[in-house]
Structure formats: C-alpha cells, structure tokens
Amino acid sequence: MSHTKFYSKAYFYDLLFRFKNLKNENQTLIDLYLNLNGKLPTSFLDIAAGPGGNAIEMSKRGIASSALDYSKDMVEYGLEKAAEENTKITYFQADMRDFKLDKPVELAAMFMVSTGYLLTSEDMLAHLKTVAQNLTPKGVYVVEMPHPVDLFAVGKYTLAEWEEKWQEKWEQRWEEKWEHTEGDTTVSLQWGDERDPFDPITQIRNVTARLKFKTPTDSGEIVDHSSQREYSYQEIKALIALSGVFEIKKIIGDWNISIPFSNEKESRRMILVLQKI
Ligand SMILES: C[S@@+](CC[C@H](N)C(=O)[O-])C[C@H]1O[C@@H](n2cnc3c(N)ncnc32)[C@H](O)[C@@H]1O
C-alpha cells in the first residue's frame, strides 16, 4: 500500500516535517476561501492528514476541524497531539477515495505529495467526487501537488546554458534528504532515490523512503517502497473537468497567494484552488 511502514512511525514523521509552516499554509487557505466566498470559513477538513498539524492549527483559530488518514497510527498520534496542544479535532481513519463526514465542511485541503497515492485516473475521479460530496455549496478544496518538472525531468539531462533555468527547477524536485534532532532523538529521511523505477505508461514511480532513527533506547533504519502516480498539469485539468464537480479558480506556485503557478523558480509546487460547482 502507501508507505505503510514509514507512516506507522508517526512521531518520527512528525519530527521530520516540523519545517512545515502550518500557520502560513492555513492563512493562505483562509485567504483563498475569503477571496472566493467573501467570508471566513467556519469548518475545515485535512485530507491524508498525517500527524494532523494543519487541522490542529485551524482548530486553534476557532475553526471546527476534522482530519482523515488511511494510517491508524497517524490517526491515534494526531488525536494525542491535539489533546496535548489543548485543542479538539475530529480525526478518523478513512480512504480518501470514499468517505463520508457527519456534516459537510466549507474548506478542505490536501498537502504535499499525497495525491501520488491516487494511482489511477479512476482513483482521482473517485477522490474528487467524494470530496465534493462532503463540501457545502461553493465549498473550496485546495490540493497541493508536485510541480510537473518532477514528472518530465526537464533539466535533468541537458547542460546547455539556456537550460540553466530548467536545471534549477529540476533541483527543486521532491527528492530530498534531511535530518532533524529533537532533544535526544535524531531522525533522518531520504525521500526518493535516483534509481527508483518509473513507468512512463502508468506514470507510476516506485518511491523509496529511507528513515533512520536514534533514540536513547533504540536505533534503526526503515526502508519502505511504494507506488506513487505523477500527474501532469494538462491531465489533472482534464480530470477535474471530467469529474464535473469542481471548477479550477486559481493555481498558485507555493503557499503564497501572490506566487502564480509557472515555470519560474519561486513556483515550487502546483497548488490547485478548486470550488465546488
Ligand atoms: C506525505 S503524508 C502527508 C501528511 C500531512 N498531510 C502533512 O502535510 O504532513 C501522506 C499521508 O497520506 C496518507 N494516505 C495514503 N493513502 C491514503 C488514502 N488512500 N486515504 C487516506 N490517506 C492516505 C498516509 O497515511 C500519510 O499519512
């Protein structure tokens, strides 16, 4: 399935992703919603939420927040984290392709590379439809996806001077390695490996996640491989149109409303702002 071994280490995952600027991401979501609907959102859903950081931060702002994830360990961890931070979220285990909330929400979001776990176009269509069913009329869904430079590898094989811009963009791709220390615990992650096989027909890469950890009582390495689909802009646009449930209102290149999605260096991601039709 989807890097199950890796995501079962929810605490280590949480340490590794402390660099996420939750406040800024959430403020961008709120601004996008406000611009589209002329009012502030009152409810939020964090899809494939992992440790649930975005839902927890939204809840602290007084927005009724819920979260879902396939991993039981992430759900348990997120609920504990919310309690530790003296806030309340509704967090449940579910598949992002088919779920039902008790009550529809006004704003939903999915962060980082989670769309990669929607392996087929049918999975993506099922996902878009289920999200739309759980949104209120004019509800907004913001989806962060890798920049398509990751898929096309533009810049990887060319060295001509005029290609410099593409090399810079290629270097921003979502293949990364970093380390984080918190007290006496050190964790490191290598996400992706040069040798990860990519199937150009299915657009699926078998992505390697390599987690190393060291605590006062334990140390080890977890190597996990999982399929991830890479989407081009043209096909996600076509799939959204085909779904018949969302309209693309804006596309931004990072978690900043004034950075448009483009081939420029500052556009590191493809963040789609969708509104329910
Ligand atoms: C890259 S993490 C993102 C976590 C979090 N949103 C963040 O920004 O840190 C991807 C998450 O997707 C979850 N996931 C994978 N497949 C899923 C599915 N079919 N339905 C729901 N969650 C899924 C994983 O368990 C994992 O927690």
Q: Are residues 120 and 38 in the same domain?
A: yes
Q: Rounded to 5 degrees, what are φ and ψ at 40?
A: -80, 145
In-domain check, residue 157 = no
In-domain check, residue 29 = yes
Assigned token pair, 164: 């410099």
Q: Is the pLDDT of residue 35 over 70?
A: yes
**Distance from the alpha carbon of residue 69 to the mean position of ligand 1, in angstroms:** 6
Q: Are residues 170 and 261 in the same domain?
A: no
Residue 142: CA atoms inside 13 Å, Cβ hemisphere, count?
29
Q: Is the distance from the beta carbon of residue 17 to the nearest atom of ligand 1 less than 6 Å?
A: yes
Q: Is the pLDDT of residue 16 over 90?
A: yes
In-domain check, residue 155 = no
Structural domain boundaries, residue 29: 4-149+231-276
How many domains does the structure of the chain reveal?
2
Identify the DSSP state of 178: E
Q: Are residues 87 and 196 in the same domain?
A: no
Q: Is the pLDDT of residue 12 over 90?
A: yes
Q: Is the distance from the beta carbon of residue 191 to the nearest atom of ligand 1 less than 6 Å?
A: no
Q: Is the distance from the beta carbon of residue 204 to the nearest atom of ligand 1 less than 6 Å?
A: no
Q: What residue owns the CA closest to ligand 1's atom 6?
A: 49
For the segment 183-234, what is each residue's pLDDT rounded down to a tens digit?
Answer: 999 999 999 998 999 999 999 999 999 999 999 999 999 999 999 999 999 9
Comparison of pLDDT for 205 and 1, the residue scoring more: 205
Q: What residue owns the CA closest to ligand 1's atom 25?
A: 71
Q: Are residues 16 and 140 in the same domain?
A: yes
pLDDT band at 162 (very low <50, low <70, confident <90, very high): low
Q: Are residues 127 and 50 in the same domain?
A: yes
Mean pLDDT score of the chain, rounded to an integer? 94
Q: Is the distance from the beta carbon of residue 57 to the nearest atom of ligand 1 less than 6 Å?
A: no
For the segment 230-255, what is each residue's pLDDT rounded down to a tens digit?
Answer: 999 999 999 999 999 999 999 999 99
Check residue 160 and give its pLDDT: 55
Give pTM, 2 decimals.
Answer: 0.94
Q: Are residues 180 and 112 in the same domain?
A: no
Q: Is the distance from the beta carbon of residue 71 to the nearest atom of ligand 1 less than 6 Å?
A: yes
Q: Rounded to 5 degrees, what are φ and ψ at 172?
A: -85, 0
CATH code, domain carrying 20: 3.40.50.150
**Distance from the alpha carbon of residue 38 to the mean position of ligand 1, in angstroms:** 30
Q: Are residues 176 and 71 in the same domain?
A: no
Q: Is the distance from the beta carbon of residue 26 to the nearest atom of ligand 1 less than 6 Å?
A: no
Q: Are residues 120 and 51 in the same domain?
A: yes
pLDDT band at 267 (very low <50, low <70, confident <90, very high): very high
Q: Are residues 71 and 41 in the same domain?
A: yes
154 in helix, strand or coil?
coil
CATH code, domain carrying 168: 2.20.25.110
Secondary structure percentages of the chain, helix, strand, coil, to 5: 35, 30, 35
Q: Is the distance from the beta carbon of residue 174 to the nearest atom of ligand 1 less than 6 Å?
A: no
> What is the C-alpha separation between 202 and 72, in angstroms, rounded?
29
**Distance from the alpha carbon of residue 113 to the mean position of ligand 1, in angstroms:** 8
Q: Are residues 61 and 188 in the same domain?
A: no
In-domain check, residue 156 = no
Q: Is the distance from the beta carbon of residue 123 to the nearest atom of ligand 1 less than 6 Å?
A: no
Check residue 170 and give its pLDDT: 67
Q: Are residues 117 and 250 in the same domain?
A: yes
User: Quick one: which atom of ligand 1 is closest to the CA of 114?
Assistant: 10
Return the number of other C-beta atoms located less than 10 Å from residue 51's C-beta.
25
Q: Is the pLDDT of residue 50 over 90?
A: yes
**Distance from the alpha carbon of residue 95 to the mean position of ligand 1, in angstroms:** 10
Q: Are residues 22 and 139 in the same domain?
A: yes
